[in-house]
Amino acid sequence: MYGQLARQWCKLELPLQALQSNSGFYIGTADGDGPVSKESVEYFQTHAAAQQALQAGAWTQDVIL
């Protein structure tokens, strides 16, 4: 699965992964320079919880209008 926002706004096809910010863990994309997009609406308490949500499809895709 690839990041929709990364594709839409950055023209990059990057795989989804569990990432961390100061606010918590989230599902997003990154490249060699660091994070590119935060794709999930949710933040998760742990990396494992974010990874599990990604694998199960139990997360909400963020949309920027």
Going 5 to 64 to 20 to 60, the CA torsion angle's sign is negative
For residue 64, the model assigns a pLDDT of 76
**Residues 21-50, mean pLDDT to the nearest whole number:** 98
* Per-residue H/E/C for the chain: CECHHHHHHHCCCCECEEEEECCEEEEEEEECCEEEEECECCCECCHHHHHHHHHHCCCCECCCC
Going 36 to 40 to 54 to 20, the CA torsion angle's sign is positive
pTM: 0.94
**Residues 11-36, mean pLDDT to the nearest whole number:** 98
**Residues 7-30, mean pLDDT to the nearest whole number:** 97
For residue 65, the model assigns a pLDDT of 65
Q: Which of 42-46, 55-59, 60-64 has the weakest average pLDDT?
A: 60-64
Calpha distance 10→1 (Å, rounded):
16
